Structures are given as structure tokens and as C-alpha cells.
Amino acid sequence: MTKKSKEQSSEGAKAFIELIAKKIPDPIIIFIWFLAIAFVLTAIIGGLTFETVSADGTAIKHVIKDMTDTENVRWFFDNALLQNWLGFGNGVMGIILIVMLGVGVSESSGLLTALIKKLGTRIPDRFLAPALVFLGIMSSIATDAGYLVLIPLAGMLYAGLGKNPLIGMAAAFAGVSAGFSANLIPATPVDVILGANAKIFAESQSVPFTNSNGEALSPPTMHYYFIAASTFLLVVLGAWVTKKFVEPKLAKTSFTLPDQIDFSDFKVSDAEKRGLKFALIGLVVSLGIVLALAMGPLAPYVDESTGNTVSPYLNNVILLIALIFTIVGAFFGFATKKFKSLMDVVTAMIDQMNTMGYILVLTFFCYNFLGILSYSGLGTYITYLGASSLAAMGLQDFPVLLVIGFVLITAVINIFVGGLTSKWMLLGPIFIPMLYQVNPQMTPDLVTAAYRVADSSTNIITPMMAYAGVILAFMRKYKPDFTLGDMMVMMVPYSISFLIAWTALLVAFFSIGIPFGF
């Protein structure tokens, strides 16, 4: 095939993907249909039984509940508002709203615009994309903060430089999504969750919790070498994808700026200079408050009932970040006379909430659908089918293919069933003992690392990711007609590149015998 024909074939494939993606309805419409389909599907297969393996090795019998039965319809209406929506994911909706209150104060005060003016004249263009990907990856230590804070800030940064904001938001989104499985900081919350449960899954069926060299694994740090290497790989790869695929395309498309943001003048005014000085004071004050809380009422303690160490300040990091944004924004606003009373700060919060209507409607249908998946057992059944398919492939003599097969299956499942922890609690008990029994080279750290790679790589191309609609709403601030299909097309190059290169790194660690961590 000639170079020209290859280019034509590539363009044809991209055009086909874009055509399909652009026909995908708005996420709200999708979840309305998903809700209806879930009810119908459970009515058809209600009563179906299947078994999965628990952490202690015993079989757990599952029965699909018919959601059209009277008691299940009653359950849906009793839980639609509180448990399934406002209380979903331990109150993730409240987290979203609280963060946006803090960001709203900083945005309305003019602080973010002033900062962007400063940064825009100091950061070389070639460093923007890698910086955003890196910050996105590192933001995983603060869990949801990367999605809710960094991505909108990235859009504003690019807009301030006269570039399409979606370019920066795409780079930040790719970094944040990958960040849940890459970092330079050891023992992140994700490391602890995955590692601790992997040990339980292994020991419950007498699988040695050791690496390929027979050395005992430490759950929080068993992947540190791998995730540190992954950080550098993904920064370079994310920056390359941004420059090679995303920026050339988006540079040709139009965008609009929200009314409250004005980047026409890049010169920092005297009032803004004064505001930034006071904002620095506000930052010191807010960090002092956070430090006092972290060392005082929110300091780590040992739960006497379980013996586990609890870190309240880490559990409330989103609220603390919102507090920092509010205090720093208020200091800037009062210094520049943008805020003249406390009511002006409250008004800034109200204005920000006025932009959240779409997210409220979206999450109502999305979270209720996910609630039905969990309650009815339909989500467990979807995961069970994927796991069973891999188990039936008979790849015991080809460990590399086992690894790749597990990565691909998990990546596909991730498109339909969100939630890193919930999927791990379903897949881990099955695959850690199963793959080790098929081939002893499939140690718990290898299987868990494969899960991390797969789970992160397809987060950015699935409407099932909890923040997909939120990020779409952020992007629509600059391009109101931007659709879910448009966002998926934009992020596909990152997803494919990350999945291929990251899997290759995983295979290299395994084949060469490099320890994943310590």
C-alpha cells in the first residue's frame, strides 16, 4: 500500500469514526434510554442466576432482579432522589457543587484571568501540553480535584493565549484520567485500595502475595517503579498526541469566550498586580488554615474498632481545595475592589451555580441508571460475562497474551461499567487466583498493574465515567454545540496511544523481569 493510499485509508477511518461519534445523542438522552433499557432487560432475564468468586474463595450466587416487580419499582422511587442521585458515590454531587463554589469565587473575582495573563507570557508554547498532562497525572493524589479544577483551568490558560481552550482541556483530561494509575508519589489512595484488596484476593485462595522473584509485596508500594516510569511515558506521549493530532484539528475550529472572561488585554493592570499580592497572602492564610486542620481536628488517627489508620484531611481534600480557592479569590477580589462586601462573594457563588443546571439534570439520570445496575445485579452480570470470556480463551502457555487479553477485556468493560474500585472488587477475586493458577508467572502485582493500565486508558472515551458529562459541560462553555461524540473523537488518539504504549511498558517490565515496585 502506498503512502498516499495509507493516508487516504487513515482519513477514511477517521471520517467514519467522526460520523458515528457525531450521531451519539446528548448524554442526558443516552442515560434516559439506558434507564428504560435496564428495566426492560431485567424484566427479560430477571431470575437468571450466576456465580462469582469472593475474596475468601467461596462462590457467591447472584440473581438478576426484575426491576418491574412491585418491590423493585418501589425501591427505585424510594431511592431515586437521595441514595441513587444526591448520595451516589458517597455524595459526589455535593463534591462537584462545593468545588464549583470555590472556583466560582476565584473566577468572578478576576483572579484566574490575572494569573493566566502572568502565565501566558512566561510559559513557552512547547511546554504547555506536557505541563498540563503532568499536572493532570499528579492531581490523582487529590482524587477528583483534577477533573473539577485542572481541566477548566487548562481551558482558560489556552483561551488566554488566544488558542482553542479545548486543546488544553483535552491534554489535561488525558493526564487526569491516566493519573489515577500513574504518579511520582508512592502510596496514593489508589495504590492502597488496589494493593490491599489484591493481597486479600491472593491469600484467600493460597496464592503467594509475592513478585516474580518470590519477594513479598508491600500493597501500597508494589507498583511504585512502574507508575513512576508510567508518569514520564504518559507525559511525553500525551504531549505528542496533543501536538500531532489534537492541536492541528482544533486550531481550525471556532470557539467562544464566556462573558465573564476577558483576555483581550494581556497586560496585568496595577489593580491586578495589587490583587495578586493579596492573593498570595490569601494563599498563605488558607494553607495555614488547612495545615492547622490537618494537624488538628483532621489529623490521622487509628480507628479503635478496626485498627485502621484514618486520614480525615485526605478524605476531605476536595472541600479543603474549595476553601483555598474561596479564600484566595476573596483576597484578590477585595484588593481589586471587584468585591466590596461579603454579598458580592455570595453572588459570585450563585452565578457559578447558575451554570450547573445541565449537570444536575445529567447526573439525575446517570446516577439512577448506575444505581439500577448495582441493585439489580445487571452490572455484576456484565462484568461476569467479560471475565468468563477471558477465562475460556485457553492462553495458559502464553503469559504475555494473557496479560494483553486481560488488559483488553478490562478496557472494554470499563467503557460500560464505571468505577475503579467497584470493578476491581468484581474482577480481582476472579482474575488474581485464576490467572495465577493458569500460569504462576501471573503474580498479583502483574495482574493488578494490568488492571490499572486498562482502567485508566479508556476512561476518557466512555460516557459511563462519572465526570464525562461534567467535563462536556466545561467544554461547552467555549463551544456550546460541542457534543459527546465530538469529545470522544477528540480523546480517541489519547486513549489508543496510552493503551498501546502503556501495555507495551507493562509487557517490557514483565518480560525483562523488572520489579513493579518495592
- Name the residue with cell 467514519: 16
* pLDDT over threshold 80, residue 386: no
CA distance 498 to 238: 8
CB 352 within 8 A of CB 42: no
CA distance 123 to 128: 7
Which amino acid, one-letter code, is at 341?
Answer: S
Provide the mean pLDDT of the chain: 84
| Strand partners for 52 | 60
Higher per-residue pLDDT: 140 or 175:
175
pLDDT at 181: 87
* Other C-beta atoms lying within 10 Å of the C-beta of residue 342: 10
What digits encode the pLDDT tens for the residues 364-381?
Answer: 887 888 789 889 988 788
Among 333, 337, 335, 340, CA closest to 274: 335
CB 456 within 8 A of CB 498: yes
Least confident of 226-240, 285-299, 464-478: 464-478
SS3 assignment, position 397: coil
Mean predicted confidence (pLDDT) in 53-73: 85
CA distance 64 to 320: 41
CA distance 175 to 152: 13
* Sign of torsion over alpha carbons 113, 355, 371, 23: negative
What digits encode the pLDDT tens for the residues 275-313?
Answer: 999 999 999 999 999 999 999 999 989 888 877 788 888
SS3 assignment, position 166: helix
Question: Can you give the length of the chain in residues?
Answer: 518
Among 150, 137, 141, CA closest to 178: 137
Cell readout for 200 is: 486479600
For 310, phi then psi, to 5°, come to -110, 135
pLDDT at 379: 79
Which strand (E) or helix (H) includes residue 204?
A: helix 189-204
Mean predicted confidence (pLDDT) in 251-275: 78
Q: What pTM, to 2 d.p., does this model score?
A: 0.68
- DSSP secondary structure code for residue 202 in this structure: H
Cell readout for 146 is: 483534577
* pLDDT over threshold 50, residue 203: yes
* pLDDT over threshold 80, residue 422: no
Angle at 135 between CA 130 and CA 140, to 5 degrees: 135
CA distance 416 to 340: 49
Cell readout for 302 is: 487509628
Helix axes 357-376 and 27-45, enclosed angle (nearest 10): 20
What digits encode the pLDDT tens for the residues 69-117?
Answer: 999 999 999 999 888 888 865 676 777 788 778 878 988 898 877 876 6
* Sign of torsion over alpha carbons 504, 507, 509, 513: negative
Calculate the alpha carbon distances from 37 to 76, 214, 378, 416 in Å: 15, 48, 11, 14
Among 516, 388, 444, 407, CA closest to 200: 444
- Give the range with max mean pLDDT: 12-26, 279-293, 369-383, 466-480: 279-293
Listing DSSP states for 49-118 in one string gives EEEEE-TTS-EEEEE---TTSHHHHHHHHHHTTIIIIITHHHHHHHHHHHHHHHHHHHHHHTHHHHHHHH
Which amino acid, one-letter code, is at 194?
Answer: L
CA distance 334 to 45: 61
Helix ranges (H only) for 296-419 are: 312-315, 317-335, 342-353, 357-376, 378-391, 399-416
- DSSP secondary structure code for residue 414 in this structure: H
Question: CA gyration radius for the chain?
Answer: 24
* pLDDT over threshold 90, residue 186: no
CB 438 within 8 A of CB 402: yes
Which amino acid, one-letter code, is at 173?
Answer: F
For 239, phi then psi, to 5°, come to -65, -40
* Sign of torsion over alpha carbons 47, 48, 49, 51: negative
